[in-house]
Amino acid sequence: MMTKEIRNKNDAYLLQELKEQLRHLFDLRAQAVTEKLEDPSQINKTRRHIARVKTILQERNLKIARHGEEPASAAPTATDGGASGGATTAGSGT
């Protein structure tokens, strides 16, 4: 599966795909140990596919985190002295 195809899938599908590929990698490694692996390059291909899926999931998580933090960081300003949001900041309990 190409990177463009992976990007078009939703998170639930990618998590399921990741689980399946990790299991497939485990099976390939077991076959390699027992010397029944027909195509050794399958291990590297599977590892790369897992890395692609994990990278795209991480990019999405970082994008969500950045968009979630932008409005919160823009709300309190230095001019109000933190009076409006002082109860939620760390260290304001003392």
Q: Render pLDDT for 8-63 as a digit per residue (tens, 0 to 9).
A: 999 999 999 999 999 999 999 999 999 899 999 999 999 999 999 999 999 999 99
Q: What is the pTM of this model?
A: 0.68
Residue 90 lies in a domain: no
Residue 29, domain CATH: 1.10.287.310
Q: What is the pLDDT of residues 57-85, one digit of tens each?
A: 999 999 988 887 654 444 444 454 555 55
Spatial contact of 22 and 50, defined as CB atoms under 8 Å apart: yes
Residue 76 lies in a domain: no
Q: Output the pLDDT for position 74.
A: 44
Of 59, 42, 68, the closest CA to residue 6 belongs to 59
Residue 52: CA count within 13 A, CB half-sphere? 17
Residue 63 lies in a domain: yes
Alpha-carbon span 44 to 42, nearest angstrom: 6
The structure tokens listed for 32 are: 């390699």
Residue 16 lies in a domain: yes
Our count of domains for the chain comes to 1
Residue 15 is part of which domain span? 3-70
Spatial contact of 92 and 86, defined as CB atoms under 8 Å apart: yes
